[in-house]
Amino acid sequence: MNKSERWLINLAALVVVLAGIKSAGTIIVPLLVAIFVALVSSPIALGLQRRGVPTVISVLLVLVLLLGIIAGLSAVVGGSVNAFRAAIPTYEGRLVEQLGQLTALAAQYNVAIDEASLRAMVNPNGAFQLFSNLLAAVGGLLTNGFLILLIVVFVLMEAASMPDKVRVAFNRTDQAPFLAFGRFMSHLNKYMLIKTIVSALTGILAALYCTWLGIDFPIVLGLIAFLLNYIPTLGSIIAGVPAVILAFIQFGLGPAGATILGYAAINVGLGNILEPRLQGRGLGVSPMVVFLSLIFWGWMLGLVGILLAIPLTMTAKLAFEESPRYRWLAILLGPERPSRVDRIPPTNTL
């Protein structure tokens, strides 16, 4: 079998796998969410175990914490989706009033604005519907909370003993594969944990800032900021759109500008200063990869796939980094200017 035939067979196998993932999306999505929840919570469980807490007790403590989070999210999402949708007609009426005032203000300064064209341009229906669907998708995911928690519990129960079981099962005495896999899991755990902490801080600060400004649905806006912060750059921009629109509808142009400045300060401070310091260099992905991964995983898994796009892409990147044969792929997925450590001499593997 020559090289071209191997490439064709691998490509055909990849197409079959992707088609299977897309057709089994209702099963794959809860499974992926459970795996990433387990990755985020495993440092807590393993840390308790290192301090002498039995495995069962540590997993139960993590389970109680996750149950509290899911209950809180269910209360917020369940009570907000219907109210958010019901308020859209009211907001549309207020938007017409605000655009009329903006047109009159521009006329005082001899700036001609076609109000009909402006209304056509500033149409919040698309943005409101998108985030209403996003909350509905999160609510639908929470209905599978029992299945997700069950998978998380089994993963956490097996996390500590799995490397030894694999070593005995395959009769491997060399440590190199297990060390590489350990480094990969350590980097992935670190990335997911830090990203979750930074996203939570972003959501909390956004909710507090919207509350201070008096914008409606501050907790929902904070939840949206938390979820979309997993998407680098684009997520923080998209998360600010409904807050800015609501601020403009409720209070006018000045508070809308203040909302833009507040969101920019939060995302620059946390996303551009704090997170890179915590994550370290080399854990980013290029903007083009971000955009393409959003399109690909959104097409594969829907709205939840958009939220999981960057964690899934980072998982692939970290896995490629641990393989000398595919490390070039990790560099191509990485930032525009790779660090000196990432630069490798050309090989004949391409």
Summarised one tens digit per residue, pLDDT across range 70-91 is 777 777 776 676 777 777 777 7
**What does the pLDDT read at residue 263?**
92
Higher-confidence residue of 28 and 204: namely 204
Residue 326 included in any domain: yes
Residue range 31-58: mean pLDDT, rounded:
83
Higher-confidence residue of 285 and 269: namely 269
Residue 313 included in any domain: yes
Higher-confidence residue of 262 and 159: namely 262
Of the ranges 46-60, 86-100, 171-185, 196-210, which is most confident?
196-210
Task: Estimate the crossing angle of helix 145-159 against helix 55-108, to 10 degrees.
Answer: 130
Residue 169 included in any domain: no
Task: Tally the domains of the chain.
Answer: 3
Asked if residues 239 and 225 have their Cβ atoms less than 8 Å apart, the reply is: yes
Residue 5 included in any domain: no
Higher-confidence residue of 54 and 85: namely 54
Residue range 244-264: mean pLDDT, rounded:
88
Residue range 220-224: mean pLDDT, rounded:
86
Q: Name the burial class of residue 139, with classes exposed (0-12), middle (13-18) and buried (19+) by CB atoms within 10 angstroms of its CB.
A: middle
DSSP letters of 69-138? Answer: HHHHHHHHHHHHHHHHHHHHHHHHHHHHHHHHHHHHHHHHTT----HHHHHHHS-THHHHHHHHHHHHHH
Asked if residue 152 and residue 35 are part of one domain, the reply reads: yes
Provide the 3-class DSSP secondary structure of residue 47: helix
The residue range of the domain holding 223 is: 179-280
**What does the pLDDT read at residue 346?**
45
Residue range 301-312: mean pLDDT, rounded:
79
Asked if residue 269 and residue 290 are part of one domain, the reply reads: no
For the segment 119-142, what is each residue's pLDDT rounded down to a tens digit?
A: 666 665 655 666 666 666 666 666
Asked if residue 292 and residue 263 are part of one domain, the reply reads: no
Residue range 94-118: mean pLDDT, rounded:
71
Residue 231 included in any domain: yes
Of the ranges 33-37, 43-47, 264-268, 275-279, which is most confident?
264-268
Residue 92 included in any domain: yes
Asked if residue 196 and residue 153 are part of one domain, the reply reads: no
pLDDT at 341 over 60: no
pLDDT at 348 over 60: no
Residue 191 included in any domain: yes
Point out the domain boundary residue: 264, 280, 296. 280
pLDDT at 206 over 80: yes
**What does the pLDDT read at residue 160?**
61
Identify the DSSP state of 271. I
Q: What is the mean pLDDT of the chain?
A: 76
Asked if residue 130 and residue 55 are part of one domain, the reply reads: yes
Q: Amino acid identity of 319? A: A
Asked if residue 317 and residue 225 are part of one domain, the reply reads: no
Asked if residue 141 and residue 244 are part of one domain, the reply reads: no
Asked if residue 239 and residue 335 are part of one domain, the reply reads: no
Asked if residue 126 and residue 211 are part of one domain, the reply reads: no
pLDDT at 340 over 60: no
Residue range 204-225: mean pLDDT, rounded:
90
Asked if residue 127 and residue 39 are part of one domain, the reply reads: yes
Residue 173 included in any domain: no
Res. 205 pLDDT band, cuts 50 70 90: very high
**What does the pLDDT read at residue 344?**
46
pLDDT at 332 over 70: yes
Pairwise CA distance, residues 259 & 253, whole Å:
10
Point out the domain boundary residue: 261, 280, 299. 280
Higher-confidence residue of 226 and 94: namely 226
Point out the domain boundary residue: 280, 299, 326. 280
Res. 97 pLDDT band, cuts 50 70 90: confident
Asked if residue 145 and residue 46 are part of one domain, the reply reads: yes
Asked if residue 140 and residue 43 are part of one domain, the reply reads: yes
**What does the pLDDT read at residue 349?**
41
